[in-house]
Structure formats: C-alpha cells, structure tokens
Structure 1
C-alpha cells in the first residue's frame, strides 16, 4: 500500500469520527463466508466478492474474525504472527483490496485482535520457553510449581482442566486461559504492551477503522497468583456449557478482571486517538460482572469506545422482564458507558434456535435491538434467519465441542458456511468440500432464494436497518428508563427536542398498552401499530414507534 492510499484512508476516517456510536456492525467469520479458491475454506478475496451483500443490508461496518498467521488450533484465535495474513486466507494484498472495496461501498472495516494470548508457535513464546533469563523470558505468565509439583493455584481453563501447563525446559508452569497451545501474555511487562501496540499501529496504517478486542478483560492476571474462590451453583450462568464445564464453578476474581487493565486500555486508546475516526469494541467475557466491566472500560475517553457484553447471548429466554432487569442494572453500573448489543455470534447457539423463534419473533428482536441505545452487532446469516446447524460428531472441528460432547456440541453449529444460492449442495460457498458441512435446511434460506421473495427475512433486515439509519435519534439519542408491561418492552428515546416512544411485544399474543400525551405513528416502515384514543394495539411480535407531537 502506497503513501497516497494511506493518506486517503486516514482522510476518509476523519469525516465522521463518531461513526461508531449507534453503528450497525456485521460480523464475518472468514472461514465460512465465501471461498474464492475452491479449497473449501473461506478467504479474504471471498469476503471482497460478497461485500456488496453487506452494503445492501445497510450495515455501517464489518468486523472480521481473525485471519492472521496461525496453526489454527482455535481457528485463528491462536496467533503466531500479528502482522501477516495466514496463507489459508490469502495475502496482505488481498486484505488491502478488501479495505479498498469496503471503503468504496461506505463500509468501515474492523478486525479482531487477540491480545491476551498467542499461539505456542509464536516466536515470542518459542524464545520465552527456552530459559528463565532470555530477553523474552518474562513475556508470558510463568510460575513455579507448588512443593508437591502441582500447579501454582486452582485456576481453570475455559476449555477444561487446569489453566496451567508444565514446561520441562523451564521446569515451570505457564498460564493458558484457553487451550494449552494458547499461552497467556504477561501484561505486567511493558515490553509486551509496546509490542502489541506496535501490531495495532501496523493495521491502522493499512487503513482499518477499528478493532474488536477479544477477551478484553483477560489481559492481566493477579500478580500474586491467588486462588479463585468458589462460585455458588445458583450463580453459574455462563453462556457456554454452564453445567458440564468446571470453569463455571469459580468466581474468576484473580485470573481476569484485574484493575491494572484500565491502565493498558488508556495506553491503547491513546494509540487509537492518533488516527481520527478509529474505534474499538471490547469483548467482555464474564457471566457475572459483564455490565460492570462494560461501564468501567467505556466510561469517558480513557478506555475503549464500546464493549460487547453477553447479556443478550445467554440461553435464558430474552423476555420483557429479563430485558428490563438488564437495563435496570445497566443504568446502575454502566450509565456513562456504551454497549454493543448482539443476539448471536460465532461462539453461541444462533438465537433463532436458542430461543426457538418464529420468523415474526426474529423480526421483533431485531426491531428491539435497533431501537435500543447502543451499537449493534449482527452475525453473518442472521439476516437470513438461519437456525443452528446440527453438525455430526464426525464432522466437528471445534476442540471445545469435541471435549464436552454430547452434553455440549461446541460452536461449529453456528459457524457453518454462509448460503448464497440453492443450486448446489454447498450453497454457493465453495466448489470444493467445505470445511464444515452446509446443512440442507439452510439452502432454502439462501440469499438468492430470499432476494425474490419480498416477504423474506432478508428484506425485513434491509427495511429495519434503513429505518435506523434514517433516524439519528436511534443512533445518537438518549434512552429513558426501560420497563416491562407484561410481555411488552417500553422506553423512550430523545434527541435534539424529539421524543420517540418505543414498544415491542415479545409474545405471540396481541397486546394493548395505554399511553399518555399526544403521539403519532412513526414506525410505518416496520409495520407500525394502531393508535386509537390513547391506546396502542400491538400485534403478536409487533412493535410501535410513536413520535411525540409538540
């Protein structure tokens, strides 16, 4: 990429430095979006080929899951080189072409940076494990065993078993919160921080508009390596495998969520601020304190711009009372923060299946998401109403699912390839055998099938996103107290003297809600609702958007 192109990217970013506030971000899982070579695995050139689809939805940005060099033990979340593209996904030139095409379509590009850990094949770790006194010996979290040879403390790995792995060369254990092949970096070492900031600058110079920061609350571990306390059974509400994974038996107050994290995030924000218009969204991986951390990490201008919490990704049905409970807590602990809401992603069962939703119910949840204060992440295939795929054990790729099968089937069911057209068994994703199977029930929901049906889910997503884009109050406005009236979620949005009263019926029964004051229907594009003599009649899974009349 030449200097003139870099200057154009920076100039383009500077046009709207606040673009992220209220943005709709479309997540792309690169292995499963589009294969351009016929080898069965998606790649960067394939993403570029399909960006017109994303632009047609009305999304503001894309978030691309990791495509860096990696041995792929955890599908790219185990990085062996932060500043290069894995050959599986193409080349740096392919990435530059992707950036150029996206920006030409008006799409921002965010990439997934995994900073808490690397692959055990990263050169940094290869050097670190050689001795206790080399230049990178302190770049990872190393600790001596207890006198009886057992691990330094009781910390557990998310993927099962101890979070400590013995290394015979150093005669020490190293920390891994995930796979044994994913050693945790030591953020107490400022050289580590500097190296990660340099990697961040590398991609900023290539024109990216921001980052999704994986496991943002895992960066630091307690310097004293104190044991985690037990978590009572009634509080075990993890979004992934809560009953079969012993990780959910601990309150992880020492292995993550450390106060020193705020200092690193301030350094990180300072780097981002060198590039006008760049933003970061942090993934907060914590089932108990997610909203509190969201509030801490996004308050003011010393942390990340927004955080990606898990409250709407849980298995528990997202009822109106549950949503009111979430926002009551949000208003207490994160009122000055900024959330990025999502219903599905690459780590959880697709919400269509998770909550057994009809098409009408899916539309209601999307409408709610787009009416709430905050930014929004949509996961590829969500706009098609794709259910979770049922992947047979012999086809599994995810080490998490293989470990805990059959009680937990892993994450492959939400990672199967995107379906573009129904004319072959692979849905237009590839000409070869795909890395995960394309299930038959997805084919009749392909993009091509839905394009020709004006009542299809795809067209509702387009109408809904266009509505949000045309209403600055929804992206930038304040939000009043959210309440539940039976099965109806109700709240107000206000901006520059305008007030919208929003109501969404999260049930399959018609609802009637009385309102005080003078209002007019402002939601015809999404179906609207009847307003007669101060009473709103909501259809099953219907929404009402009313504008206050001055």
Structure 2
C-alpha cells in the first residue's frame, strides 16, 4: 500500500457538527453550504480531513443518529448537489472528507422498520431484532437502553418486542440476516461512488447481538449504588461486542479496498477492555483505525496517558488508534480538565500540544482550536434527549454542541443571521475565530504551529513512542527517535534535567538553562533529539532512559 493510500495513518481529522458550524440561509441551523464557505478556515488550520456528523434524512429524534433514508441529505442541511459541491471544494483545498455512518440502527420512521413492525410475515419482518415476551409478558431479557430504561419496546401488531440500544425511535438492525448486511454495504457504496474518502462508524461494536438473548451480568467493578444512568451498571457481554462484528468489519474493509485511498474509523463505545478491542478491530483487514472514550473522560495525569498508548501498541502492534480529547458526546476538555490548568488558555494550548504529539491518528472537535469551553445551559434550553432524561445529574450533550463562534462582533457570532438552534452565550462568544487570527499568543495560532510541526515531522505522525519514567505530573516521551516531548500536567511549576535535545521547536511556559528545563504551570516543550535522550527527575536524581 502506498503512502498516499495510507494518508489516514497519523492524520489529523477535524470533526464538524453540521448543525452548529455555519448557517448559510438564516434558519438558525448549520448546513452544507455553510460548511463549504468555511472550509478555508480548516485548510489554513492545517488539518488533513474533515468528519461530518450525520447529514442523512432523519426525523432528528437524536440529531441525525436516527436515519430514515441512507442515500439522501436531510433538507435541513441541503441537497445532494450541495454535498457534491462541498466535496469538490474540500478536495480542491487538499482536505479529505469522512462522513458519519450509523449502521447499527435506523430511525423508527425508516420504511423498512415501518414494514417490519406490521407483521411477522412481511418481507422485512426479520430485518430488525424481534423477540417474544416472557410468559409473564415482560421483555425477553434484562438488556438496557443507553438512554435509560429497558432496551425493548412492545409492538402490538406483532405481539413482540423490538430491540433498541438507544432511543425507542432507534430500532436495531438484525445483522444476523445477510440481506441486512448486503443492503447496508450497498448504502456505503453509494457514498464511496460519490467521492467521499471514508467513514466514521458510529457504535461500531454494537452491530451484532447475542442470538440466544442471554442476560447481561452486573458490572463487577461498579458499586451497588445506582448511577445517573443504570446502563453503566451492567457488563454488556451479550447486548453488544459479539465476535460476528469482526467478520462484518472484514466485509466492509473488502468494499473499501475496491477504491483508492479510502479509510474507516470506528467508535468503540465500551467500558471494559476498550483499548484491547480497539486493537482487535484494527488488526488485519478490518478498520483502518479506531477510537474509544479512554481520553474523553476526567483522567488527566501522566500515568493515564502513558497507559493508553503503551497498552494499545503492546497489545496490537499491527493496529492503529485514533485519539481525541473532545467530541459531540462529552464535556469539552477545557472545561472538563479545568482544575488542572492555571488558565483556560494555558490548558487549551497544552492539550493541543499533547494530543498532536501522540502516536496514532488525531481527531479535533470544532471550536477546540479556539479553546472553546462547555456552554452552561438551563433545562428549558435543552434539546438532547440524554439531558432531558437525566437532568440534573447529567446535563446532556448540548453544552458541547452550541454553534461555532466566528466573529464576536457579528450578530450570533457570525454563525447565522437567524436565531441559532442552541444559544451562543458570552463565555463562548469571547472565544471567536476573528479575535484570534494572527495573534501569536492565541489558542488558534498555537494550534496552527503545532499542526504545522506535526505535518512536517514524520516522527510525530508515525514514529514509535518511548516513555521516560518521570514522576507525576511530568509526562515525557520520545517520538521516532527524533522528537523529545515534555509536559507539566499541572497548575504548579516543575523542573526536569534533559540530555540529548536541542532548543524547543514548539514550547509554552518553559525556561531552558543548559540541561535544566523549568516547566511553568501547564508548560510544555517539543525538542529535536540530537543524541541519545535522557530525562532526569529532580526529585529522584537518577538519569532515566526510555523504557
């Protein structure tokens, strides 16, 4: 495989949440023409690809993750012609285009489900997961929905339950039916023929369910005290994560391999062994890369970041990960990790340097390059079903989905001439693109510098990682034998002694005096390696080589 075909290895993808990126027609909702208008921002930023969250026809019960037509664009976002123009412009600017593919389930408004639910004898009767009730009328097992309550919904016409891992409006396809697999692959082919460069696969480990419908056991790691969502109290051995998933991934890969330079990245939604499963799903002719939520949580310490990298490449040396700190499902990392930063800007810059120095491919979430923070929304402002269901323990995902702020002096932040679908509040408006362009101390320019360094450094894109045994909160590692990366993951100053490295290529909050590197709060430095590198922890006095 040529280097051009493997463009995805070490690449940086920018996630666009279409509803919130740019509105071109004044209805308060972002659209494809708006995305096309703003593509130069992303080309100038220096990313390799864009990923669009779902844009297919949908009743929007879950903001497009409930698809009712897999081969057309929802009118909210535009038309197929608008999509074609967007792809052409992206390719003209050197950007790859990846689209979100939601295969595990459809909308309950999809014609196939509407047919399936009418009768046990309809042509599509076995296209979804149906099961008889127990003798007492209760659901066939104890599986739960991610959005709360049982994962089974009664259908009177069939006198059966149907399975939904997510909302009631999102019935799961029956992947044990080969016709379902064939049809879903045909929808992927439709978009490949249209010129897209790859897919982001939603809930890639949810495709198959246990045919025997065995109960999921309790999660042995969780306390008996109920959590905000009881879904996480189970160990999901049977409702997802089935071995048949891997076989279907090989079919998907065979389809993509019929085209030049296409790639798939899968979302691994799993609380157990996610890093091991990422390796499984990307080894051999399966996914090109995979990501989990391991770096999308609260953990922010050197041992945690080191463990994710080492566990993946030790367990799956032939696999390939994708790492992200924020996306459309979690609290933005500048807010999530606020206690670890001396300031929001300092934390945002450090997070950029850390993420973009990790071995694997990288995904940035829109607004991340501005140091954007979580929006504090009131209950009446919510749209997300997760927040509406679990408030106030969990405020849902709308706080990270508020519109992109392009210009703090323009109405609605330059996002729309109409009222935005979610509010733009003052803390978010202050972090706008226009106010950061060409200001060298801004978060945006810090991202640009770091992206340029990664793009020009093969060591940072694909080089192996060697960690140094420094004490918390200092994280230090070498990439590809060419770049030494040192981070102070705290709001207090720390110092280390280094050997074998030149002056920093990119740094923030550091002072260098010979082999002494003083790291101010959230300070970091990336340095060219000149000789065999070493890092001395001042608290241990021993020079420690890479492990």
Q: TM-score, normalised by structure 1?
A: 0.92
Superposition deviation, residue 453 in structure 1: 2.9
CA contact (8 A) 1:35 1:429 kept: yes
Asked if the contact 1:324–1:483 (Cα under 8 Å) also holds between the matched residues in 2, the reply is: no
Match of residue 415 from structure 2: 429
Q: Distance in 1 between matches of 2:5 and 2:199?
A: 15
Query: Which runs of 5 or more structure 2 residues have no equivalent in the other structure?
Result: 532-547
Which residue in 2 is equivalent to 1:290? Answer: 274
d(CA) in 1 for partners of 2:257, 2:58: 29
Residues 1:493 and 2:493 are matched in the alignment = no
Find the aligned partners of 2:21 and 2:482 in 1 and give their Cα distance.
Answer: 39
User: Distance in 1 between the 2:287 and 2:516 partners?
Assistant: 42
The answer on whether the counterparts of 1:291 and 1:334 sit within 8 Å (CA) in structure 2 is no
1:76 aligns with 2:64: yes
For residues 358-399 of structure 1, give each alpha carbon's deviation from its aligned partner in whole angstroms, at most 9, with x where no partner exists. Answer: 211221121111111001110001111111001111111001
| 1:275 aligned residue | 259
Separation in structure 2 between the aligned mates of residue 319 and residue 60 of structure 1, nearest angstrom:
28
Out of 518, 523, 531, which is 1:537 matched to?
518
Whether contact under 8 Å (2:438, 2:445) holds in the other structure is no
Q: Distance in 1 between matches of 2:482 and 2:37?
A: 41
Report the equivalent of 1:4.
none
Aligned pair 1:349/2:331, yes or no?
A: yes
Instruction: Render the CA deviation track for 1:148-193: whole Å, top value 9, x for unaligned.
Output: 1100000000000000000011111010000000000011111111
The answer to whether the Cα contact below 8 Å between 1:528 and 1:545 also exists between their aligned partners in 2 is no
1:444 aligns with 2:430: yes
Matched, 1:475 2:461: yes
Matched, 1:207 2:191: no
Q: Deviations over 1:252-308 (max 9, x none)?
A: 0100110111100000000011111000100000122211110100012x1100001
**Deviation at 1:212?**
0.4
| RMSD between aligned residues | 1.9
Q: Distance in 2 between matches of 1:94 and 1:64?
A: 14
TM-aligned CA deviation for residue 541 of structure 1: 1.5
Cα drift, residue 228 of structure 1: 0.3
Which piece of structure 1 moves more, 325-334 or 389-398?
325-334
Contact 1:265 1:304 in 2 (8 A): yes
Aligned equivalent of 1:118? 106
Q: Contact (CA 8 Å) 1:327, 1:482: kept in 2 or not?
A: no
Answer yes or no: is 1:264 the counterpart of 2:258: no
Tell me, yes or no, if the aligned pair for 2:174 and 2:180 is still in contact at 8 Å.
yes
Written as runs of structure 1 = structure 2, the 5 A alignment for 1:319-468 is 319-356=301-338, 357=341, 358=343, 359-451=345-437, 453-468=439-454
How do residues 10-409 of structure 1 correspond to structure 2 at under 5 angstroms? 16-232=4-220, 234=222, 243-300=227-284, 302-314=285-297, 316-356=298-338, 357=341, 358=343, 359-409=345-395
Tell me the distance in 1 between the aligned counterparts of 2:223 and 2:177. 34
How many residues align structurally?
Answer: 527
Provide the C-alpha distance between the structure 2 equivalents of 1:318 and 1:288, rounded to a whole number of angstroms: 19
- Alignment partners' CA distance in 1, 2:442 and 2:478: 29
- Distance in 2 (CA, whole Å) between partners of 1:459 and 1:119 is 41
Structure 1 distance, partners of 2:379, 2:2, is: 48
Cα deviation 1:312-364 (Å, max 9, x = unaligned): 101x2311122233334334433432111101100001111111142112211
1:298–1:15 Cα change, 3 Å:
closer
The answer for the alignment partner of 1:526 in structure 2 is 507
Counterpart for residue 506 of structure 1? 489
